[in-house]
């Protein structure tokens, strides 16, 4: 494979043999994008044999103390650390060089766990413990993982005059509240003891606050040292870094303090619990239960059972459409006009799942058509014990769809996929994407909002459910058994999506991002976005009622049906952007297969054409830039920048194994010819025919190249798709 991982001064990696053979990482570290504005330039990094599609190398565009950031590393391999001279030393009382050398002491022993955040709770004292390579935090309060995963904002943005949101991740503000402010212990030493690695963290200074009175006044002040034991023989695997449930800590992190009689009694209680946990572990190993242990017990080596009767035991077969259960949330009030959206992609007797309605269908919708998913009426929430505490019952109804779908008892399932009644799903693409993952492991796959502000308000690491998300079936099953408890625990939450994120965080499962899911937190015309889709399979489209029809001169329902004409023939290429150039005319052509074709009367670099034209508006009218999670181009009246617009009209199979998609001009551009590029007008063109292979699907992450056939003055242009040549430069 030839692929590039990440970009920027902090480092990039090109796939073998593009630059170099894979080497074992010696001193490379991964981190999040430090600010909304990214950088690029000199390369400092390594080619790693364990980097995959979900790890990238990013900049630390920050100032001051980044300890809060390093203490809440995302669940992925730590690869690079940049801008060391612009940040404070990462360890107190030493210079930058000494700090890096200390970090490398741990790196040389076990890089797989370096900076991987581990969270545990000491229930007897109501303490939360968060451990990373540089720091260990003890909070004198039980704080949810979804909060502890957010870095404490000890750092400052790169630009001093920046306005919020500063970062591409959510943060917590440092607090002087004794129930929120942590006790800080910095990494001091590491050693081998038998088959264990022992890392020691020491307190550098007193916290200087009273004990947290609301949780029982169990002060952590006497503790001066924390020792953490991890197995020397077992490295944390890449898939394990995506899910904290797979962190294999054989023992509870031991907290050393003065051995007062009270503490000795606590130790005895802990040892008794440890014996009980070991017994439960052995029982679990040979007779897996239908529940997940609590956080206190989760330090024991966990394994997800693959012997549940609901999960397919035939794992040798590739995931197919029959392995997916859809849970669709709807309401009777909206069903009349949203029915067509669902029926456009639903395949009777093929797709499996249920439409969950808020009430029983009226006579108007009886008998229920076979072209729609079978319906179920959501359970009565007023019968729940927790109902009086719930502030947002509608959100709870949507969340409990997971539990209610699993209760239907469908067999031989690998994935649960959630969507709304205004969500259109590309089923074939979804199957191809999910087949890449090991469905026996806990996966939570989705995408966040297109809007920076929406992600800032909720979470950058949360799947927005309208765009759809996928849960591996073992995870969905484990979640279902704990869901009502989680609802009670977070009864104040006002969003189904954030509720799910919080519940899964308690199980130690973080989001796996996939850009193919589209929440569409946008308004007006999204043609600019759909014409520059990222190089990943198109999986879903949401909020159809809040945007303009995606094709001109037809309504929303007709627009979706037209898009599905192309989807039914070849979903692998749907919306995939292909760019080629007609040198004789100095034209650039950008095709979003099955949707649109743009002709520019100028040679425009692909790096520019990959940016969507900002034909749309943000979800919130009063939002301030940066508005989106991607770069855009502003529509222009410059004839050398404004495209001629043609939209998908028809599709057909022809001889020689070809698919022909036809794109027709929507309206005249109404501008003069671009004189800068030689006055080659594209005004005569009213139709573009695109020929693509019928027998070859586009691989996930793949791309097509194309050649243009056109005679000056003709009204039809032909474009032939072909496989790209090795190292082909398209510029």
Residue 237 has what pLDDT?
62
DSSP type of residue 496: H
Q: What is the 3-state secondary structure (H, E, C) of 181-250?
A: CCEEEEEEEEEEECCEEEEEEEECCCCCCCCCHHHCCCCCCCCCEEEEEEECCCCCCHHHHCEHHHCCCC
CA-CA-CA-CA torsion sign (391, 395, 399, 400) = positive
Measured between alpha carbons, how far is 295 from 508 in angstroms, rounded to an integer? 9
**β partners of residue 446:** 513
Residues 458 and 494: beta-carbon distance below 8 Å = no
501-520: b (≥16 Cβ within 10 Å) or e: bbbbbbbbbbbbebbbbbbb
Residue 273 has what pLDDT?
54
Closest CA to 84 of 51, 44, 46, 115: 44
Residues 65 and 152: beta-carbon distance below 8 Å = no
Residue 79 has what pLDDT?
87
Residue 625 has what pLDDT?
87
Residues 14 and 47: beta-carbon distance below 8 Å = yes
Residues 228 and 202: beta-carbon distance below 8 Å = no
Residues 522 and 449: beta-carbon distance below 8 Å = no
Residue 550 has what pLDDT?
98
Take residue 310 and report the two structure tokens written for it.
């609901």
- Cβ neighbours of residue 529 closer than 8 Å, sequence gap 6 or more: 450, 522, 612, 615, 616
Identify the helix (H) or strand (E) that includes residue 465. none
Residue 257 has what pLDDT?
34
CA angle 380, 384, 389 (to 5 degrees): 115
- CATH 3.90.550.50 in the chain: give the residue spans: 321-513
**Taking the model in full, what pTM does it have?**
0.80
Residue 701 has what pLDDT?
80
Take residue 314 and report the two structure tokens written for it.
């035939």
CA-CA-CA-CA torsion sign (203, 206, 209, 213) = positive
Dihedral in degrees, nearest 10, Cα atoms 40, 45, 48, 50: -60
- Tell me the pLDDT tens digit for each residue of 24-68: 333 333 333 344 434 443 333 333 233 334 444 547 899 999 999
Measured between alpha carbons, how far is 610 from 592 in angstroms, rounded to an integer? 11
Pick the CATH number of 321-513 from 3.30.200.20, 3.90.550.50, 3.40.50.720, 3.50.50.60: 3.90.550.50
Residue 276 has what pLDDT?
53
Residues 577 and 611: beta-carbon distance below 8 Å = no
Identify the helix (H) or strand (E) that includes residue 160. none
Q: Point out the residues of the chain with pLDDT beneath 70.
A: 1-58, 235-315, 677
Measured between alpha carbons, how far is 439 from 574 in angstroms, rounded to an integer? 25
Residue 655 has what pLDDT?
80
Question: Which residue has 């809060």 as its token pair?
Answer: 68
CA angle 107, 65, 242 (to 5 degrees): 45
Quick check: helix, strand or coil at residue 479? helix
């Amino acid at each position: 494979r030839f692929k590039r991982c990440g970009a920027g001064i902090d480092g990039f990696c090109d796939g073998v043999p593009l630059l170099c053979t894979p080497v074992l990482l010696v001193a490379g570290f991964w981190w999040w994008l430090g600010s909304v504005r990214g950088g690029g330039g000199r390369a400092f990094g390594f080619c790693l044999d364990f980097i995959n599609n979900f790890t990238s190398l990013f900049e630390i565009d920050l100032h001051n103390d980044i300890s809060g950031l390093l203490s809440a590393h995302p669940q992925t391999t730590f690869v690079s650390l940049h801008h060391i001279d612009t940040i404070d030393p990462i360890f107190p009382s030493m210079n930058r060089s000494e700090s890096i050398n200390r970090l490398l002491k741990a790196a040389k022993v076990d890089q797989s766990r370096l900076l991987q955040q581990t969270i545990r709770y000491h229930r007897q004292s109501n303490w939360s413990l968060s451990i990373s390579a540089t720091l260990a935090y003890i909070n004198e309060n039980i704080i949810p993982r979804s909060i502890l995963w957010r870095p404490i904002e000890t750092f400052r943005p790169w630009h001093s005059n920046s306005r919020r949101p500063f970062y591409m991740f959510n943060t917590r503000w440092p607090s002087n509240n004794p129930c929120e402010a942590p006790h800080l212990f910095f990494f001091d030493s590491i050693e081998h003891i038998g088959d264990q690695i022992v890392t020691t963290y020491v307190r550098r200074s007193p916290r200087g606050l009273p004990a947290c009175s609301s949780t029982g006044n169990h002060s952590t002040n006497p503790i001066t040292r924390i020792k953490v034991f991890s197995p020397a023989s077992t490295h944390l695997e890449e898939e394990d870094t995506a899910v904290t449930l797979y962190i294999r800590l054989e023992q509870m992190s031991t907290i050393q303090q003065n051995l007062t009689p009270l503490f000795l009694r606590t130790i005895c209680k802990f040892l008794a619990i440890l014996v009980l946990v070991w017994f439960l572990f052995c029982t679990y190993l040979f007779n897996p239960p239908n529940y997940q242990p609590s956080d206190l017990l989760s330090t024991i080596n966990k394994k997800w059972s693959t012997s549940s009767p609901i999960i397919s035991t035939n794992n040798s077969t590739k995931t197919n459409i029959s392995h997916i259960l859809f849970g669709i949330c709807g309401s009777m009030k909206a069903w009349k006009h949203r029915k067509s959206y669902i029926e456009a992609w639903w395949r009777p007797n093929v797709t499996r799942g249920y439409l969950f309605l808020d009430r029983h269908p009226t006579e108007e919708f009886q008998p229920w058509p076979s072209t729609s998913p079978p319906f179920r009426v959501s359970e009565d929430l007023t019968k729940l014990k927790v109902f009086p505490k719930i502030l947002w019952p509608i959100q709870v109804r949507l969340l409990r769809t997971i539990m209610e779908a699993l209760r239907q008892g469908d067999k031989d399932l690998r994935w649960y996929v959630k969507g709304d009644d205004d969500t259109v799903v590309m089923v074939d693409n979804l199957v191809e994407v999910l087949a890449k993952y090991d469905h026996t492991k806990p996966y939570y796959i989705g995408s966040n909002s297109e809007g920076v502000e929406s992600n800032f308000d909720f979470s950058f690491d949360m799947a927005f459910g309208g765009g759809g998300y996928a849960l591996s079936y073992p995870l969905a099953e484990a979640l279902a058994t704990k869901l009502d408890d989680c609802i009670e625990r977070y009864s104040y939450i006002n969003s189904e999506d954030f509720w799910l994120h919080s519940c899964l965080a308690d199980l130690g499962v973080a989001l796996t991002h996939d850009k193919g899911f589209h929440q569409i937190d946008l308004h007006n015309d999204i043609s600019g976005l759909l014409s520059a889709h990222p190089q990943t399979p198109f999986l879903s489209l949401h909020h159809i009622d809040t945007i303009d029809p995606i094709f001109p001169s037809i309504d929303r329902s007709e627009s979706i049906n037209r898009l599905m004409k192309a989807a039914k023939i070849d979903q692998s290429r749907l919306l995939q952007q292909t760019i080629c150039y007609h040198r004789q005319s100095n034209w650039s052509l950008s095709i979003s297969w099955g949707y649109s074709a743009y002709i520019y009367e100028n040679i425009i670099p692909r790096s520019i054409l990959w940016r969507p034209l900002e034909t749309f508006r943000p979800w919130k009218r009063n939002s301030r830039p940066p508005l989106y999670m991607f770069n855009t181009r502003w529509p222009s009246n410059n004839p050398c920048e404004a495209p001629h617009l043609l939209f998908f009209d028809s599709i057909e199979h022809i001889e020689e194994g070809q698919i022909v998609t036809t794109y027709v001009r929507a309206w005249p551009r109404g501008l003069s010819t671009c004189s800068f590029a030689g006055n080659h007008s594209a005004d005569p063109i009213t139709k573009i025919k695109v020929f693509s292979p019928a027998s070859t699907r586009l691989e996930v992450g793949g791309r097509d190249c194309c050649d243009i056939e056109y005679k000056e003055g003709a009204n039809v242009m032909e474009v032939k798709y072909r496989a790209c040549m090795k190292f082909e430069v398209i510029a």
